[in-house]
Amino acid sequence: MLENYLLKNLKANEQVIKIIRRYPITLGWWYLLSVSLIFIAFFLFYPLLRLGWWGLLVFLLLLAAGIVIAARKYIIWSLDIFLITNCRIIDFDQEGLFNKNVTETNFDNIQDISYNKKGIFATIFDYGNIVVKTASQNSSLEFYQVRFPAKVQELLVDSQNKFSRKNKNIQAEA
């Protein structure tokens, strides 16, 4: 399903080089909260059942909250994509279940590609933020908490160079 969604956004003769998502370990706190709520619900199951329907309601609310938090975070993670093709970069920002922002730029509009890592966890687990500055003023693409940001930056620079060489060859032939 996701592949069909991505392929419909591609232009003719455009190929996907890499699909990048947020590093899953950065969602650890949310999943820890989710698992904790589910664990607490089952740990307190018998004491809550003694309270009658109120206890059953609390159990179901704790269980539902844990499942909803995990499902919501997974859906947002799976739809928040940084797509690198042979012609451009497309940033699908899924900011909530119903909020999406799609930004794209061609390789010939890119001015600068940089990355940064902040904090001890980012250093230990090697994840960081990618920032792609474009030719238009105050415009940039940002993708947060990417695993191996130096390699992603290198891939983007290489792809941009290949695109530039390809365009120079086409212009030279014309």
Six token digits for residue 14 = 């455009």
User: Half-sphere exposure of 123 toward its Cβ, with a 13 Å CA cutoff?
Assistant: 3
Q: Is the pTM of this model over 0.75?
A: yes
What totals of helices (H) and strands (E) does the chain contain, helices first?
A: 6, 7
**Secondary structure (3-state) at 91:** strand
**Secondary structure (3-state) at 128:** strand
Cβ atoms within 10 Å of 140's Cβ, excluding its own: 16
In this structure, are 37 and 119 located in the same domain? no
Using the 3D structure, point to which of 38, 57, 75 is the last residue of a domain.
75
In this structure, are 115 and 130 located in the same domain? yes
Q: DSSP letter for 24, please.
A: G
CA distances, 156 to each of 73, 132, 161 (Å): 27, 9, 9
Q: What is the CATH number of the domain that holds 130?
A: 2.30.29.50
pLDDT tens sequence for the chain (174 residues): 566 666 677 777 888 899 999 999 888 888 899 999 999 988 988 888 888 888 889 889 999 999 999 999 998 998 888 999 988 898 888 888 888 888 888 888 888 999 999 999 999 999 999 999 988 766 788 899 999 999 999 999 999 988 888 877 766 665
Specify the pLDDT at position 113: 92
Chain centroid to CA 42: how far? 32
Using the 3D structure, point to which of 45, 75, 105 is the last residue of a domain.
75
Specify the pLDDT at position 122: 92
**One-letter amino acid of 144:** Y
Q: Which domain holds residue 37?
A: 29-75
Distance CA 92, CA 3 (A): 13
Six token digits for residue 73 = 């975070």
